[in-house]
Structure 1
Amino acid sequence: MAVNIYDSANQMERDLRETQEFVALKEAYEAMKQDAATFEMFKQFQTMQIQLQQKQYQGQQPSEDEIKQAQELAGKVGQVDAIKALMEKEKAVDQLLSDVNNVITKPIQELYQS
């Protein structure tokens, strides 16, 4: 019987939605969105992160102004309890995904260790 790994991946996606880590992240995100100013700051922070990452992927260095702006915005974001809570929950989901990735890639790790 052939294995359809995509069926397993789709089931894992559904399972992820039911984990306590994801549920807590979703609740923290919804709570953060309740304050329009906080949500706007969060969106600006995300946009800035994406722009800086794209520059790095393209082999470009961010300017000193961009770095300064990013640091200032990160400082502001880090002082907002709702965003701090969201980031804390995001770390828990990231850890869960890292653990799952280690399980999924175990056959590859074992292959190269033999």
Structure 2
Amino acid sequence: MTKNMHDVAYELQKAIAEHPDFQSLKVSYAEVQADAEAKQLFERFRMMQMELQQKMMQGEQLTEEDNQKAQEVVAMVQQNAKITNLMQAEQRLNVLIGDVNKIIMKPLEDLYNVYMQS
């Protein structure tokens, strides 16, 4: 009997939410949100990221001013231990999700590899 893929996906969603890396991310995020200075700096960092991504997606070249502003914000973020902890927790969760994605995509990869070798 074939499993319902949506049911499996919801099980995976629950497993990720219960995983220690996600729990660590939640705690780190709450710590940043509870600290007014860290919260403001983190929001500034996120806005800068989104603005730069939007420019790049629209094919715009980043200016020297863009790069300088980004470097300044990144330097401030790196000096804030709460934000640094949050970013490290996010990175650990991203690695986990990347690993899960590789596992999920393996059948497709195998399929294409079989036909590429023919």
Both proteins in one fold, TM over 0.5? yes
Larger C-alpha radius of gyration, 1 or 2? 2
1:110 maps to what in 2? 110
Q: Scaled by the length of structure 1, what TM-score is found?
A: 0.93
1:82-111 CA-partner distances (Å, limit 9, x unpaired): 011111111100000000000000001111
Structure 2 matches for 1:1-114, cutoff 5 A?
A: 1=1, 3-114=3-114
Displacement, 1:10?
A: 2.0
Q: Scaled by the length of structure 2, what TM-score is found?
A: 0.90
Number of aligned residue pairs: 114
- 2:109 maps to amino acid: Q
SS in 1 for 2:59: coil
For structure 2, the 5+ residue unaligned runs are none
Displacement, 1:8?
A: 1.8
**Cα RMSD for the two superposed structures:** 1.2
1:19-50 CA-partner distances (Å, limit 9, x unpaired): 00000000011112121011110001001101
Identity %: 36
1:3-27 CA-partner distances (Å, limit 9, x unpaired): 4322222221121110000000000
